[in-house]
Structure 1
Amino acid sequence: MMRGPSFSARFRHPAQVVVAAFVVAVAIGTVLLSLPMATTAGEPADWVSALFTSTSAVCVTGLAVVDTEAHWSVFGEVVIAGLVQVGGLGIMTMATLFTLLISGRLGLRAKIAAQAETKTLSTSDVRRVVRKVVLFSLVCEVIAAVVLTGRFMIGYGESFGRALYLGAFHSVTAFNNAGFALWPDSLIRFVTDPWICLTIAIATIVGGLGFPVVFELARSWRHPRKWTVLTRITVGMTVVLLVLGTLVFLMTEWRNPRTLGALDDPGKLLAAFFTAVMPRSAGFNSLDISQMYPSSWLATELLMFIGGGSAGTAGGLKVTTLGLLVFVVWAELRGETRVNIGHRRLPEATQRQAVTITTLGVALVAVSTYVLLALTPHTLDQVLFEVVAAFGTAGLSTGITAHVGVAGHLLLVFLMFIGRLGPLTLGSALALNTRARHYELPEERVIVG
């Protein structure tokens, strides 16, 4: 008799397991948020709002079609925080395990060299990896929660219970780069408060760097020459993007009376830095995004599309991908036949993976922007901002999220899911699906450009 494929046959590739797990998490979150007890009105939420919020939480995005505090009850907010935690830990754990799995496919000589230099773990240490990821995440969240709780009590007169709730909720959403806030204006009311803004910004940056990079920095932060290529690119690109982003927002919005123009100089610097951090994938905002100049929107879109570090809670194409492309372009401009980073040569397969992920990301954003323009009456700059925010799981918006219709919401749900899992699963699939060709075809030069 003919028998259907077994479960193991259907999920032969680890990426399939990750996608299936996140689908299940989104489904469970949708059901929980659809319960009457999840809303302040005591009535079941409509399925689109529940699905959108659940996807946004699991994919640690932060986009919302309803006011989080006004629409969802305490139970609903706890569900959202739980989904954010599951999504963030899931991404960090799976990305780290993929790193180990991919390193296990290296040749013996390359594997010995890599382990000797980086002191990386082997695939037999999976339990220890997961335990360290979870412990690292929880410690960071607790530290941020303590600082925020103290600030809410001392600076804003909140009771201990309320301050603890606010601190815990926002530490979870900050470290996991989710961007859900319990105020209708996100963090605009705290725009000049360094205790709130810097705590959330630091938690966002640490969560977005990625587990392998953070632990390598903890081991050898005094010896940059010993850093791996991953750490060098991640740290270097992160610093460059934060500095450039801060400068761009300062120059662009300095005299805008609806954003930086109303603040004093220290407040402008703090707000510009916070605004440069958040597009990395976090989604909080201390300035009104809808009142920014279009040039600032473009800068924000570029930062959202790039995202944060690999094997972290940030989304986007990853700074690693951008860094690799920079070195590839630089080598091509110099006429070099090999791409070298420090004292290491970049494999051609890795170069192709970076080009493939970037090209597919650009294509997806372009097609989705066209579709959403056709579905809604909004302008190109508003729609493009929304699409990039969903794909980059950044959670920022010009204010049109709730007004794109059911079809638009479903498109954004798709983009958040693909944007969260796409680069991870596609990157691992490309790395694990290498095949040796036993013959070579004749070479033919093609005119480029």
Structure 2
Amino acid sequence: MAGRATGVGHRLFAAHPARTLVLAFAVAVLVGTGLLSLPLATADGHSAGFVTALFTATSAVCVTGLVVVDTGTYWSGFGQGVILALVQAGGFGIMTMASLLALLISGRLRLRLQLTALAETKTFGIGDVRRVLLGVAGTTAAVELAVSAVLALRFRFGYDMPVGQAAYHAFFHAVSAFNNGGFALLLDSVVPYRTDPLVTLPIAAAVILGGIGFPVLLELLRHRRRRLTTGRRGWTLHTKLTIVTTAALLFTGTALTTLLEWGNPDTFGPLHWSGKLLNGFFHSAMTRSGGFNAVDVGAMEASTLLMTCTLMFVGGGSAGTAGGIKVTTFAVLAAAMVAEARGEPNSTIMGRRLAPHALRQALTVALLGVGFVIAATLALLTVVKAPLEAVLFEAVSAFATVGLSTGITADLPVSGELIVILLMFVGRLGPVTLVSALALRERKRRYELPEERPVIG
């Protein structure tokens, strides 16, 4: 009987893996809400309100970082531990389950050498599940411990923190950074360290590594070992796209942020030119889905906020801890536009022709993302008295699970908090489940309808 039940459960998972993924994260949110609702979780010993606990748990599990209360003062050590555990579970679960989900789809559909929005299918096989899990765990532990060590030494000897406090602050921020969580123990995030590269650069590096995607990280490590032994180096298209697009967006974000904020007296104005460049890079890295801020985001120029919204919407790499529509989706759409502008019948990129279904999936993800952001912005504008740019920024940050805010999060009414909660959840799991559903539903048509071209533009 148990074997029969197990078989039924396996068939349900195989038929609807996206449904299982959504259910798993929903359960994690509910468990986190229950734990954060305990009197033990708050600093003053009073139970947090249900919506406050739900908002914080959703933000942690979806590794967003938006908060309605200050993490360092409102929550007790137990509450902060729960938040950190939820961030770790959300980041580790996203990386593992998204990779395994991609493997399940590729095994069923026999996809080879094709770019997907989740992972490069050539990287793994169905028999590699154990290696994937161990690889994710090992990579996560290695990066978090390395960043923790650097931060702990800096906090201890650069800011005279007690050993225990330095270690705790370092570990908390390292876990939050690698998982793109955005939670910080200080009320103003990392603003006190904005001119300290020994704090900001390790955090930025952890955010970039976590957001680039586990399939890419594992492939880079594998090919590094192969190159050392055989002298060969060959990356898959997914890895090339992710690295090149991420680097281009980081450079663009750094240049634009630095230039736009150069003379702003409330942000970069008082800084030395080296500090301006450092903070321009840090802010650009945080748009990958990091969520930490080293300057007051609410004081930034409107042009900077719009540029930041664009970078946040794109997000990071597939099957990683970052949100957004993903850099590979952006690259596929860009390749399609270039092909159309040149009058070419097929979209090509880096010497490879893109499959038509990859373009359709990318277009679907991007347009649905735009739809969610617009709908959420309209809903928030009906309940929040704030400028349009601030509300739009909040909506994009929630959908892309970034965590940056202009400062309106804590002032949201309950209805506004519920809208943001839904947007964080949809934004975190929407692209994964949508692309999975599209891939699983792919089928061949046995007939073709008559072709006709409507007027475009």
TM-score w.r.t. length of structure 1:
0.95
CA contact (8 A) 2:103 2:121 kept: no
Q: Which residue of 1 aligns with 2:178?
A: 175
Distance 1:224 1:154, change over 3 A: farther
Of residues 362, 376, 382, the one that matches 2:384 is 376
> Partner of 1:273 in structure 2?
281
Give the deviation of 1:404 after TM superposition.
1.6
**1:257 maps to 2:265:** yes
For residue 325 of structure 2, what is the amino acid of its counterpart? L
Query: What is the CA deviation profile of residues 117-150 of structure 1, one whole-angstrom value per residue up to 9, with x for unaligned ones?
Result: 9862211221111111111111110111111111
What is the CA distance between 1:111 and its match in structure 2? 6.6
**Structure 1 partner of 2:4:** none
Q: Are positions 1:129 and 2:132 aligned together?
A: yes
Amino acid at match of 2:159: Y
Q: Is the 8 A contact 1:104 1:111 kept in 2?
A: no
The one-letter code matched in structure 2 to 1:399 is G
Of 212, 216, 223, the match for 1:213: 216
* Aligned partners of 2:194 and 2:294 also within 8 Å: yes
Q: 1:323 aligns with which of 318, 331, 348?
A: 331
Tell me which of 29, 34, 37 is aligned to 1:31.
34
1:9 Cα deviation after fit:
7.4
Q: 1:57 to 1:445 in 2, by over 3 A?
A: same
Residues 62, 396 of structure 1: 8 Å contact kept: yes
Cα 1:195/1:277, change in 2 over 3 Å: same
SS of the residue aligned with 1:282? Answer: coil
Tell me, yes or no, if the aligned pair for 1:118 and 1:228 is still in contact at 8 Å. Answer: no
For residues 194-343 of structure 1, the aligned pairs below 5 Å read 194-220=197-223, 226-343=234-351
Separation in 2, partners of 1:119, 1:335:
31
Which segment is superposed worse, 303-312 or 121-130?
121-130
**Contact 2:135–2:218 at 8 Å: present in 1 too?**
no
Deviation at 1:182, TM superposition (A): 0.3
Question: What TM-score, normalized to structure 2?
Answer: 0.93
Which of 31, 42, 45 is residue 45 of structure 2 equivalent to? 42
Measured in 1, the distance between the counterparts of 2:396 and 2:122 equals: 37
Query: Which segment is superposed worse, 340-349 or 99-108?
Result: 99-108
Post-superposition Cα deviations, 1:365-408, rounded to whole Å, max 9, x if no partner, equal: 11110110011111111100000000010000000001120000
Q: Does 1:161 align with 2:164?
A: yes
Counterpart for residue 3 of structure 2: none
1:72 counterpart = 2:75: yes
Instruction: Determine if contact 2:262/2:268 at 8 Å carries over to the other structure.
Output: yes
TM-superposition CA deviations, 1:30-63 (whole Å, max 9, x none): 0000000100010100001100000000000000
* Deviation per residue, 1:303-345 (Å, 9 max, x gap): 1111000011000110010000000111111111111222322
Please give the alpha-carbon distance, in whole angstroms, between the structure 1 residues aligned to 2:298 and 2:427: 23
Equivalent in the alignment of 1:3: none
Residues 72-116 of structure 1: CA distance to partner in whole angstroms, max 9, x if unpaired? 0000000000000000000000111122122213448x479x9xx
Deviation at 1:7, TM superposition (A): 6.0
**How far apart in 1 are the matches of 2:187 and 2:410?**
13
Is the partner of 2:108 in helix, strand or coil?
coil
TM-aligned CA deviation for residue 8 of structure 1: 6.5
Counterpart of 1:404 in structure 2 is 412
Partner residue in 2 for 1:120: 123
Alpha-carbon distance, 1:216 to partner: 1.7
Aligned pair 1:145/2:148, yes or no?
Answer: yes
Change (3 A) 1:266 1:111: closer
Counterpart of 1:59 in structure 2 is 62
Distance 1:386 1:191 in 2: 23
Question: 2:352 aligns to what?
Answer: 344
Is contact 1:103-1:111 (8 Å) kept?
A: no
User: Where do 5+ consecutive residues of structure 1 fail to align?
Assistant: 1-5
Which consecutive unaligned segments of at least 5 residues does structure 2 have? 1-7
- What letter matches 1:165 in structure 2? Y
C-alpha deviation, 1:440, in angstroms: 0.8
SS in 1 for 2:319: coil
Separation in structure 2 between the aligned mates of residue 348 and residue 111 of structure 1, nearest angstrom: 14
- RMSD (CA atoms): 2.0
SS in 2 for 1:260: coil
> Aligned partners of 1:128, 1:287: CA distance in 2, in Å?
41
Structure 2: how far apart are the matches of 1:27 and 1:407? 19
Q: What SS does structure 2 have at the residue aligned with 1:280?
A: coil
Structure 1 residue corresponding to 2:437, chosen from 429, 436, 440: 429
